[in-house]
Structure formats: C-alpha cells, structure tokens
Amino acid sequence: MQVLRRLWSSPLTALGMLLVLLALLSAAFCNVLSPFSPVRQYRGYQFKPPGTQLDEDVRVAARAEGDRPGSAFALGTDIHGRDVLSRVLYGARISMLVGVVATLLNLLIGVAIGILAGFYGGWLDSFLMRLTDTFFAFPGTLLAIIILATLSASLGDNYDPGMLGLFLALGLTGWTGIARVIRGTVLALKEREFVEAARAIGCGNLRIMLVHILPNCMAPVIVLGTMQVAYNILSEAGLSFLGLGVQAPSASWGGMLADARPFFKENWWWGLFPGLALGLAVLGFNLFGDGLRDVLDPRLRARS
C-alpha cells in the first residue's frame, strides 16, 4: 500500500501507470470498445481521413452482416477501408499478450539460471554464465528472427505460428540481463544469516532457493520484468514490421506501420496512430519501471 502511494506521488510514474492501464484495458476490452470490426473492409471508404461519416445505408447493411458500426471513422480508414481506431485498439491485445507472456518466459529462464548459478557456484556457475554470454553475444534480434523463421517453416504454409512463434522467439532470447542481475543478487543473499539459519534447521537446497532466496529477489524481478515488457512490445512490433510476426489480416501495430509506410505522406493518419499507440504503451511501461525501480530497488539504477 505504501509502495503504491509512493508510486502515485511521482507525476511521471503516475502517468506511466495510467498509460499501462489504458493499454491493458484496450487489450482486454477491444471487442467492446472498438466501434467497428478490425478486419471488415468498407468498400468505397478507402483512405478516408479521420472523422469521415459513414452513410446510413452502408451502416444498416453492415449491421445486417453482423458488424455493429459506429457513425464515423474517428481515426480514418486504411487502404482496404478498415477502421484505423478499431485496428489500433485490437493491436493492443497482440502487443500486451506478446509483451507479457514473453516477459514471463524471460523471467522464468532468467531467474532459474540466475539462482542456480549464484547459489551453487563452481562449474555449474561457469557453465551457465558462459551460456548466458553466448545468448548475450547473439546479434540483436537476429536469434528471434531465426527462431521465428524456423518455426513458421516447420509448421508449413497452412499454419501460421502467429503469437506462439512470437512468445517463443522473444521468450527464449531476452533473459540474459535478468539472469546476470539475479545471479549477483543471489551471490550476496546466500551469505546472509537467514540462509545459514535455514540450513541449520535442516532445509534442503531446493527449499532454501525457492522459499528463502527467491522471495528476496522479488524487487529486481519486478523492476526488470516491467522494463522487459516494454522491450518485448517494441521487439514484437519490429518483427511484425519486418513481416515476421502475426500475419494479416490480424491487427498488430508493427504490421499496420509496415502497411502504411508507402502511403504515409498522403495518408498520415494510417501511420501516425498505430505508432503513437505503440510509443505511448512502451513509454508507459518504461515510466512505470523507472518508478518501481526508484521505490523498490534503487541499486538497479546503474545497470539500466
């Protein structure tokens, strides 16, 4: 409770929390919030600027076919006559899902490796840290691209790995920083008296790691996790921008920007709003992470 109050008291952190909340709400309720179907193409309404009214008879026809259209395209339409606002709202769902699930996978791998390496030391530590170095030395997002390309090839042309591919590609690659920080934290923790006390009353290694050490790693885990969500959202958008992420006609921010790029000058709304949504969501997680860090674990400041 006290933590929450301290977070709210900083205006930037409060802004961050607000943006995160908006993104999560949009992801959860995009089917209710969006005024149009994200994939329905309104013929005759291609490239309409923001605020274009929808003709009454088109509306009635669309309603008869199961869409429940609003009265106007608030943020304009794209090349196929699809509503940009609805697609931006639906894009939040993919971004948030991939961001959060990939981060959970990052944390699972990173924390497990960090705790094992820090706790046991010796050859296991050396091996795990070399493994971490190896993944760290892998150039940029290239490993994610290779994993994604291999997955989609393995599944054949008829099945799109979609989100699962993104979960794996980003989840298996972004954990190195977490593993290093957790290892450092565990190295310091395992010398503390409470670990010795736990051992004295007969706790096994596994129990000490899970019950005594893990909870004490929570501050860096929460801080790094929040910032990792931001990173994963950006990476997902980048992969989708390259055409490697979720495939059309699904609405993802990166994919929308890739489609809008050739038409950006004349149809600025199509390229502006998805980018704005993406940037603001990432900004939200970064500001929130900054605030969490200052409150929970200021020592991390030097590392990020």
- Interface with other proteins (CB under 8 A), residue from 3, 12, 197, 210: 12
Nearest to other proteins of 195, 260 (CB atom): 260
Q: Which stretch binds other proteins (CB under 8 A): 36-44, 102-110, 213-221, 237-245?
A: 237-245
164 is a contact residue toward other proteins (CB under 8 A): no
**Amino acid identity, position 136:** F
Residue 53 φ then ψ, to 5°: -75, 150
261 is a contact residue toward other proteins (CB under 8 A): yes
Q: How far is the CB of 170 from other proteins (least distance, A)?
A: 14
- What angle separates helix 84-120 from helix 122-137, to the nearest 10 degrees? 150
Q: How far is the CB of 175 from other proteins (least distance, A)?
A: 14
Residue 59-98 contact track with other proteins, rule CB under 8 A, x = bound: ----------------------------------------
- Interface with other proteins (CB under 8 A), residue from 81, 121, 184, 279: 279
Does residue 304 contact residue 38 with C-beta atoms inside 8 Å? no
Nearest to other proteins of 60, 146 (CB atom): 146
**Residues in region 129-158 near other proteins by CB under 8 A:** 130-131, 133-135, 137-143, 145-147, 149-150, 153-154
283 is a contact residue toward other proteins (CB under 8 A): yes
Site for other proteins (CB under 8 A): how many residues?
Answer: 43
286 is a contact residue toward other proteins (CB under 8 A): yes
290 is a contact residue toward other proteins (CB under 8 A): yes
282 is a contact residue toward other proteins (CB under 8 A): yes
176 is a contact residue toward other proteins (CB under 8 A): no
Point out which residues bind other proteins (CB under 8 A): 12, 130-131, 133-135, 137-143, 145-147, 149-150, 153-154, 230, 234, 237-238, 241-242, 254, 257, 261, 264-265, 268, 271, 275, 278-279, 282-283, 286-287, 290, 301-302
